[in-house]
Amino acid sequence: MMIRREINRESAVSPVIGVMLMLVVVIIIAAIVSAFGGSITQTEKKAPQASFSGSYSQMNGLAITHLGGDSLETEDVKIFVRPSAEFGHGQSDIGTLLVNATTLTDGTPDPAINGTLRYWKNGTYGTYSITSWKPGETMYVRGGTDLQNSGLIDSREWPPCYNEKLIRSGGTNWCFVTSLNNQYNIGKRITIEIMRSDGKLISSFDTAVAP
């Protein structure tokens, strides 16, 4: 009987050790997953918080004012203009326009280049003359050459034009019916979106096309 009891006692040890080993393995895996998840959270860049207002004029171009919040790195910012459905069916989906960073200026003279203003990006060298956008500052796409090269209109749609039909007018002054610079669209709503280069939205607001 003594021998039989010792054998039973020894045979019960294996399941206990197995359970303990399984618990250790589970704890180690949980620790690894937790550490990995924490590192992902830490390395993910936090989206800046900021608010803006702005306007679009067919003659004077685009103006956007940073009302408050975080300063933005211009190299990490993209500005989109999205026409509303008032411009035509589907325009809010397919008509989104990206502002060319080489035409965005804060309106101040560039000390490195006489006779010109500071722009976000130098089109020749790819460098940024304006590296940050701080609260209280306004950025512009001026009417004229800058607006023509901004990506917001066809270069032939400045000065503003007029065409109420679904075809463009002939001659040197082309004017699409969906163009921001078609005088037919004065008063129609557009949405201006300030986005990070990875596609995360920073701010969005509506305004109407002005003459």
Q: Which residues of 172-193 are buried (b: 16+ CB within 10 A; e: fewer)?
A: eebbbbbbbbbbbbbebbbebb
pLDDT computed for residue 10 by the predictor: 53
pLDDT computed for residue 1 by the predictor: 47
Token pair recorded at residue 146: 């800058």
Summarised one tens digit per residue, pLDDT across range 163-180 is: 988 666 666 567 899 999
pLDDT computed for residue 112 by the predictor: 81
Summarised one tens digit per residue, pLDDT across range 65-76 is: 999 999 999 999
Q: Which residues of 75-85 are buried (b: 16+ CB within 10 A; e: fewer)?
A: eebbbbbbbbe
Q: What is the pTM of this model?
A: 0.78
Distance CA 158, CA 170 (A): 15
**pLDDT band with cut points at 50, 70 and 90 for residue 27:** confident
pLDDT computed for residue 111 by the predictor: 87
Residues 153 and 146: beta-carbon distance below 8 Å: no
Closest CA to 83 of 155, 157, 180, 181: 180
Summarised one tens digit per residue, pLDDT across range 121-152 is: 998 899 999 999 999 999 999 999 999 999 99
In this structure, what are the phi and psi dihedrals at residue 134, rounded to the nearest 5 degrees? -100, 160
How high does pLDDT run on average in the chain?
86
Q: What is the 3-state secondary structure (H, E, C) of 86-134?
A: HHCCCHHHHCCEECCHHHCEEEEECCCCCCCEEECECCCCCCECCCEEC
Min mean pLDDT across 62-71, 111-120, 176-185, 198-207 is at: 111-120
Residue 104 has pLDDT above 90, yes or no: yes
Q: What is the mean pLDDT of residues 88-96?
A: 92
Query: What is the DSSP-derived secondary structure letter of residue 179?
Result: -
Judged on CB neighbours under 10 Å (0-12, 13-18, 19+), 122 is middle
